[in-house]
Structures are given as C-alpha cells and as structure tokens.
Structure 1
Amino acid sequence: MINVLIVDDQPLIREGLSSLLSLQEEIHIVGTAVEGSDALAQASRLEPDIVLMDIRMPGVNGVEGTRLIREKLPHIKVLILTTFNDSELIFDALEEGASGYLLKDMPTETIAKAISTVFHGGVVLPKDFTAHLLAEGRLKQAEKAFGGASEPPEGLSELTIREREVLQCLGQGLNNKEVAEGLFITEGTVKNHVSNIIHKLGLRDRTQAAIFAVRYGVTTF
C-alpha cells in the first residue's frame, strides 16, 4: 500500500483526487493539505510515502513546499501536479528534489501509475510534453542546469554503449528494476551504471539524468 498526501489549495481538486485515487487498490490517501507549509506539517505527522503537490498555490507554493519536505523529510518523495501555464516552475521544483511532475488533466489511472513509479524509485517526466516545453525554450531552468548549451555536453561521448542504454531508460522514467529487466542485467549493475552516468555528465542525481536524456533525445549507438 502506497500512502499519499494530497496538497492543493482548491477543495474540489483535493476531494476529487482523494476520492478517485482511493479507488486504486495500492493507494491509500492519508490526508490532505492546502499549501506548502501545511504540507510539511501534515507530512511530518502522517508520514506519507509520497506527497502529490500542486505547484501553484497561495502562501507557500509547490516549489518551496517541495524544498521544505525534501530538506526536513528526505525519505518522503514529492510528485508535482501542474498545468501547461505553470511550465516555468516545473524545473524549479525538480531542482528542489521533486521526483517528477504530472499534468492535472491526466487520467486517474495515469496519475496512479506515476505514483507507483515514483514509489518504486522511478522518475516521472511526461516525455512528449517535456520535449515540447524544452523545444519552445519555456523551461529556462533546464538551460541553466546544463550551462545553456544547445549541443550535448562532451561528457556524453564518454558514456559506454550500455550506459547510454541505461540513460535512455532513465529518460523514459524507468526505475532500476525496470531498467534491469529491460536490459537483462542486475539491479546492482544498473545502480553502478547510473552512478557512472551522473559522474561523467556532471549531474546531481537521476532526475537530472532523466531530464538530460529527454532534452538531448538520447538514443543508443
């Protein structure tokens, strides 16, 4: 059972998501919060596995709320709920430690699957939407994160064929187990490859690695 805390300033969305996600067998809604500071207080008390956080709220928004939770409660993962108009904040939230983001109008089943993916160690970056935003230059934090370069960094050429395969899987949001099954290697080997990728590309974590894969359209040799 995955324990989830829902954070949104709109009662209709909070109650609607709570009702719909409660119908999913593996999800248990432990509570709700109305903005970021409330989310931290509720998360401290309820100890959810995942916080489903709206990005734009009055008071403490989802970006700052993510920072607070990841700083104070690093074992709790945050999944951002957003809209196309919130695109400039998405990478801010990822930089603060969010494990991905979802559009609010996605089907309940998609949101439930994303929650499961994050719970099991994956990253959720809707590939087509992310690529579209990057192509339009709307995610300025992505440019900042990778030095504003339009061409793939030189470190990409240092990756082995297997490391590029793993990086491609990260861009698809797969967790270590899924990568291992897809490439017919052990999870321990995947972890080693991920560490090597992060080091060679000068990235902070697997979330940045996933963003890198999407931004540069990484494919295998």
Structure 2
Amino acid sequence: MIRLLLADDHPVVRAGIRAMLEREADLVVVAEAATAEDAVRLGRTEVDLVLMDLQFPGAMQGAEATRRLRAEPHGPRVLVLTNYDTDADILGAIEAGASGYLLKDAPPETLIAAVRAAADGEQALAPELSAKLDASLASGERLTVREAEVLALVAEGRTNREIGKTLYLSEATVKSHLVHIFTKLGVGSRTAAVARAREIGAIRAG
C-alpha cells in the first residue's frame, strides 16, 4: 500500500482527490492537511507520499513545506499538485525536492500514474510542463528561482530596499539580480520586466 497525505487548503478539493485515489487498491489516504505547517507535521508520520499544493494561508507555502519534509532523514516523497504553472513555481518545487509536478486539471489516470511513479522514486513532471521549461531554457529567458522572487516583489511595487529586507539581500545584490533579469528578458525597465515575465509565464500574473 502507498500511504498518502493530501495537503490542500480546500476541503472540497481534498475530498475529490481522496475519492479518486481510494478507488485504487494500492492507494490509501492516511491524513489530510489544510496548512503547510500541518503538512510538515503530518508528513513526519507514517506517510510514503505527500500530494502538496503550493498556495496556503499563512506564512509557510508548499515549496518550503516540501523542502522541510525532504530534509527529514526518512521524509516522504512529495508530488506537487497545483493550479500554478510558472517557471518559478515549477523550478522552486523541484529545487525543494519534489519528485513530480502536476496541474489539478490533469486526467485522473495521469495523476494516479504520477502518484505511483513518485512514490517509487521516479520523476513525474507533466509532459507539457517539461516542454514549457525546455522552451524557456532554449529562449534564454528562464529566470532563476531567486530572480523570479525578486521580480515578483517588483510586481508588487516594492522598492529595492524593501525587496532586500524581505529576501535578506543587500540592495546591491537586488540591483545585480535586476540587471540579470533585464538582460535575460531583453527589457530596460522594471515595468517592462514584469510584463514580459508574466507574458512568458516566468512569474504569476496578477
């Protein structure tokens, strides 16, 4: 049996996923978490795989919860299941140690196959997301996770000083990241960088 933890802040979503997965003889949902903090706490119990959303209420988000679980000596594997498909979200999850990444509109058979693959230690990245990352890499426009974090704060209207405080960076480092971002995206201003990054799916829109 593959023991699963469902981590999502929407009860209806958890109920739907549970009903779908438990039709399979080898899958059992042993716990549910509505916050990232609960996902970390419950993931330290007898769980083989966590199905992790990225967006939660509160300070901790899915990528950080994934990082903490994967840092545990016998931590469970993590399969991200979310609505977000930006480069920054995908790369952030993978860098945090996720074994796979699927969107919530994936067909049931795709999700079930990904659950089994991730639990077995295999990579389970949706083909369309893999192609998307390959395309952004080929174009030279792929931002690093840190660059995407900086630009997402720029999109919120933060100053370089505010960005530095939030990310624990010096203002000079923030400026350096912005120079690299402008170069990669072929733009000359903060506004243009945000617009271009949203256009190519490097950061979340809105």
* TM-score bracket, shorter-length normalisation: 0.5 to 0.7
Partner of 1:140: 143
Any idea what SS the aligned residue of 1:140 has? coil
Question: Matches of 1:139 and 1:27 in 2, distance apart?
Answer: 36
Please say if residues 52 and 80 of structure 2, whose CA atoms lie closer than 8 Å, have aligned partners that are also in contact: yes
The answer to whether the 8 Å contact 2:5/2:51 transfers is yes
Task: Measure the CA separation in 2 of the matches of 1:38 and 1:124.
Answer: 24
The separation in 1 between residues aligned to 2:30 and 2:41, in whole angstroms, is 13
Matched residues, percent identical?
Answer: 36
In the alignment, structure 1 segments of 5+ residues that lack a partner are 145-221
The answer for unaligned runs of 5 or more in structure 2 is 148-206
Q: What's the CA shift for 1:87?
A: 4.1
User: What secondary structure, in the 3-state scheme, does the structure 2 residue paired with 1:39 have?
Assistant: helix
Secondary structure of the 2:56 match is coil
CA RMSD of aligned residues (A): 2.2
Q: Provide closer, same or farther for how the CA distance between residues 39 and 139 of structure 1 changes in structure 2, counting only shifts above 3 A.
A: farther
Question: Which residue does 1:49 correspond to in 2?
Answer: 48
TM-score (norm: length of structure 1): 0.59
* TM-score, structure 2 normalization: 0.63
Equivalent residue pairs, number? 143
Q: Which has the larger radius of gyration?
A: 2
Provide the rounded CA distance (Å) in 1 between the counterparts of 2:55 and 2:142.
Answer: 16
Asked whether the 8 Å contact 1:35–1:58 carries over to 2, the reply is yes
1:20 is matched with which residue? 20
Please name the residue that 2:81 is paired with: 81
Contact 1:99 1:123 in 2 (8 A): yes
**2:69 counterpart of 1:69:** yes
Tell me the equivalent position of 1:33.
33
Q: How far is 1:141 from its partner?
A: 3.2
> Which residue in 2 is equivalent to 1:102?
102
Looking at structure 2, the residues matched to 31 and 111 of structure 1 have their Cα atoms a distance apart, in angstroms, of 18
> Structure 1, residues 127-184: CA drift from partner, whole Å, max 9, x if none?
232212442467523898xxxxxxxxxxxxxxxxxxxxxxxxxxxxxxxxxxxxxxxx
Give 1:155's aligned residue. Answer: none
Query: CA separation in 2, counterparts of 1:78 and 1:21?
Result: 16
